[in-house]
Amino acid sequence: MYSIGEMAKLTGISAFTLRYYEKIGILPKPSRYQGQRSYQEQDLQYIRFIHELKQTGMSLEDIAAFTESGCLLALREEDTEINELLKKRIQFLAQHMEKLNQKIEQLQSVKRIAEEKSAYYAAVLNRREDA
């Protein structure tokens, strides 16, 4: 079992943010032990995944939509709904990856421009120093 402070250290997400994610429904309410939030290993994996989604630029609104059915790790193989949930998440992630690919292309374009400008400025500087 992990306290909220331990979970914050393990995930890199502040305790305040963990509470906020719980409040807006991205994270399920954790169990309680002696009145304090108590997280399990499964919660740690789930929170890390949420954090990774956020790090890729996914909005909290999209993360909430993605996670509305909760943690799939909690479902059993015999649950009939799991196939539909898996299909939905695969589609959602495919759409997100397409957005990421577009961002990568934009960043590569900006990087090329910056490299060209840097080379131009270096050439101007070299000409001025040689003169």
pLDDT per position as a tens digit, 35-55: 889 998 888 988 998 999 898
Question: Cα Rg for the chain, rounded, in angstroms?
Answer: 22
Name residues whose C-beta falls within 8 Å of residue 92's C-beta, 6 or more positions apart in sequence: 62, 65, 66
pLDDT of residue 14: 94
The burial of 113, by beta-carbon neighbours within 10 Å (0-12 exposed, 13-18 middle, 19 or more buried), is given as: exposed
Average pLDDT, the chain: 88
Structure pTM?
0.67
